Amino acid sequence: MEEHEDGQLGKEESQEGQQEALTRVTGMYKDWFLDYASYVILERAVPAIEDGFKPVQRRIMHALKELDDGRYNKVANVVGHTMQYHPHGDASIADAMVQIGQKDLLIDTQGNWGNILTGDGAAASRYIEARLSKFALDVVFSPKITEWQLSYDGRKKEPVNLPVKFPLLLAQGAEGIAVGLSTKILPHNFNELIDASIKHLKGQRFKLYPDFPTAGIIDITNYNDGLRGGKIRMRARISQLDKNTLVINEIPYGTNTSSLIDSILKANDKGKIKIKKIEDNTAADVEILIHLPGGISPDKTIDALYAFTACESSISPLGCIIEDNKPLFIGVQEMLERSTEHTVELLKAELEIQLGELEEQWHFASLERIFIENRIYRDIEEEETWEGVIKAIDKGLKPHIANLKRAVTEEDIVRLTEIRIKRISKFDIDKAQQLIESLEEKIAQTKNHLANLVEYAIDYFKELKSKYGKGRERKSEIRIFDEIEATKVVIRNTKLYVNREEGFIGTSLKRDEYVTDCSDIDDIIVFTKSGSMMVTKVDSKTFVEKNIIHVAVFKKKDKRTTYNMIYKDGRGGASYVKRFNVTSVTRDKMYDLTAGKAQSEVLYFTANPNGEAEVVTVNLRQAGSIKKLKWDLDFADVLIKGRGSKGNIVTKYSIKRIELKEKGLSTLKPRKIWFDDTIQRLNVDGRGELLGEFTSEDRLLMISQKGVVKTAIPDLIMRFDDDMIVLEKWIPQKPLSAIYWEGEKELFYVKRFLIDNPDKEEVIISSHPKSYLEKVFTDYRPVAEVVFAKKRGQERKDNMQVDLEDFIDIKGITAMGNQLTKEKVLEINAKDPLPYEEPEKHDPVDIEVVDEENVEVVPDPDKSPKKKSEGKKGTKDEEGQTKLF
């Protein structure tokens, strides 16, 4: 019994001991994880707001300062020196140093430090060299106001924070992943940061936006001050070198030419874009040439590059910094304000130390003058003890120290005893007085700076900008991006087939009927004999419904494609005619376009991309006493309604067949097109400047500053040159007038011309390298004013008004033109044109669109069907918007 109890007792004690041990381990793990997380956040990943450095960066800068003698040091040597302060290996230090060096601000580099444009890494640290830049020496270090701490092993002292007098964190940017949080602060422009600091000191508002060393184009609409949840969109700068070549000169931040080319090749392999060859000529600047096959649109390819490759990317900032040993989430505006105020405090501390040093210099200079001028040094000749010497000097000074700013200490007297006899013998009272006066001026100036600290800080920032701001202008262009619809720019990389009878569509039905080329992200619209309609994503094989009558690629929000349809309403029912658009649908949902009765059947169907309305002949079956078995029906007489409308009655009798009699013209008004200057794109949504109303034959006229004239049928995916000076609707019979400087003859010439070949680009100035386009006029009867330069000793010649229509006849576009004047011209101005009346235009008849089913087409034995209409003009589409066509 005792043995059993003892054994049981031992078992319980063992369990309690295990539980206690388990509790301790859990607690230890909790503490260890918190310690590790705190260490990673505070000592590795996140920069401090005070100086903008992570610890490893701060230690590198401190090591560079200790080694600084004006000459380059091997990076390997700097890394080794930094390891005295940094508790990690050399690889992390070398990588961090290369990243600082590539930002080209704090470190003056020599050797191969890698290339952020191509993604090439730096050479080994034993081959490359570094020293502090002049900017770093001016801005980062100030030992007298630096707070110091012991290094990790207690052998050395290192700075707690470096006294950086500049918003360095925002200039360089920072990125780090810690435990439970991360930071991503984007780099900003050097000069814009200084301007913002000055504005903050003046109490003015400011805005800051990123600027990337890789340049490119950025959309800062959703930047959100660099806080969590914001986003920057970035694009490469792509331009058209010629009709078959694109060139990329700038790339998005975070990419390099290698990764960019890889993404383009992958998109080509997937069939999203079509290219022939890529050349990478990148050296000091980016140059990637993209060669296109013949017949591929450069504008469409540029949009496709943005849609499907790394030519467009986005980056989400996250403003996290360390302040008082705690992570803090703030925006870039607050970061700059804190940094600027910290800079003011550092400048104040420097001025206070400077003032103390100057006052100390003045005190000793005054004391030295009293000591020598009054020959007090002779009073110590008889003294035999050190105490006696000190007392004798103190006694000799007392009658003369009333004007001193502080009491004389024993240390002051000891310094007087250290003055050499040579200095006493050569003492110049005038020079001593000049020194004291100059010190007094400096003291007064320093006190003035302290009294006007904000103005002093503003001057400090202005000096920084004038000294180091040259060559640091903004690289990334800020622009609002247009949204690119992938379906509109993707290359049609596959073929669509249909089996009409069985009701299948797809890309794998190669034995069946070919429909059209399409892409693998397109939607397909299908109509069937029963009056059903469905939109589905393109696939290898999809069943819709038997007896397909029409298949096409579906264009979302397409308000111009109009479907003309005649259908029989159920077995033995009346026939109806309807016209409708399909702007938006639910994918894979089957829609019934008839009245819904069983055995309804489509008798006639066409899809018309520009709202064409044809004339058809309706043939009835012989039945009973029908007198007229045949008549014409004009779809132009039928109003465009919603797809769910029942339509208008054609006849209650049985239709034998319907034949096309006459193809129709568009019943839609010309399309109004606007140009949005903010995104440099055309649109039909009313944004920007109205260019006019365009039919399918109308063209745009474009003239660039280089003198290139061209016309083109407007397309919403068109891109425009940055130097475009004319963009308007082209009127073929309206002459164009130009005044240009002819480089060879060094005179201004005038020419008037018509564009004879609208499909050809023409250059309207001469080919001499110094030739340039001065003015271009698109008015019918333009007038120019010539302002002459003043000749020495003569009155300025009166301005000359030139009626260009009278001055020169219309000639060929390649003609040189006539001399404007032989006099020296100061400037040429455009004046109001002479009056001109344009011939009257006859617009197409506007077709009414009604809301309800209120039109009935009734067969008449004697006349063609006519419409009876009631109700208001206008109809509502699926989104409920009233539209007129």
Is residue 552 classed exposed, middle or buried when 0-12, 13-18 and 19+ CB atoms within 10 A define those classes?
A: middle
- Buried/exposed code over 638-656 (b: 16+ C-beta within 10 A; e: otherwise): bbbbbbebebbbbbebebe
The answer to whether 191 touches 78, Cβ cutoff 8 Å, is no
3-state secondary structure 329-375: ECCHHHHHHHHHHHHHHHHHHHHHHHHHHHHHHHHHHHHHHHHHHCC
Distances in whole angstroms, Cα of residue 138 to Cα of each of 106, 141, 656 = 10, 7, 95
What stretches of 445-561 adopt beta strand conformation (E)?
477-478, 494-499, 504-506, 513-518, 523-528, 532-537, 542-543, 548-553
The helices-and-strands tally (H runs, E runs) of the chain is 17, 52
* Spatial separation of the C-alpha atoms in residues 699 and 78, rounded to whole Å: 65
Dihedral (CA of 601, 606, 611, 613) sign: negative
CA dihedral 256, 258, 259, 264 (to 10 degrees): 120
Number of other CB atoms surrounding residue 348 within 10 Å: 16
CA–CA gap between residue 224 and residue 165 (Å, rounded): 26
Amino acid, single-letter form, for residue 660:
L
- Reported as type and span, the H/E element at residue 158 is strand 157-161
Please report, as a single letter, which amino acid is at residue 168.
L
The pair of structure tokens assigned to 68 is: 């600084």
Cβ 752 vs Cβ 735: under 8 Å? yes
Residue 127 annotated to the active site: yes
Measured in whole angstroms, how far is the alpha carbon of residue 248 from the centre of its chain? 15
Contact 497, 547 (CB under 8 A): no
CA R_g for the chain: 42
Burial class (CB in 10 A: 0-12, 13-18, 19+), 147: exposed
Q: Which amino acid is at 276?
A: K
Six token digits for residue 837? 């009346």
Q: What is the DSSP string of 653-699?
A: SPEEEEEEEEEEEE-SPPEEEEEETTTTEEESSS-SEEEEEE-TT--
CB 49 within 8 A of CB 339: yes
Query: Other C-beta atoms within 10 Å of 830: how many?
Result: 14
Q: Assess contact for 611 and 667: CB atoms under 8 A.
A: yes
Catalytic residue among 29, 36, 39, 127: 127
Contact 563/608 with Cβ under 8 angstroms?
yes
52 Rama sector, left if φ>0, alpha if ψ -120 to 50, beta otherwise: left
Three-class secondary structure of residue 81 per DSSP:
helix
Token pair of 815 as six digits: 């003609």
CB distance 569 to 602 below 8 Å: no
Nearest partner of 161 among 308, 47, 19, judged by Cα: 47
Please state the φ and ψ torsions of residue 592, each to the nearest 5 degrees. Answer: -100, 120
What span, in angstroms and rounded, lies between the C-alpha atoms of 411 and 840? 104
What pairing do the DSSP bridges indicate for beta strands 494-499 and 513-518?
antiparallel
Phi, psi of 697 (to 5 degrees): -95, -15
Residues 6 or more apart in contact with residue 75 via CB below 8 angstroms: 94, 97, 98, 125, 126, 128, 129, 130
Distance CA 250, CA 233 (A): 14
Locate 170 and state its tokens: 């925002």
Tokens (6 digits) for 626? 């029908």
Residues with active-site annotation: 127
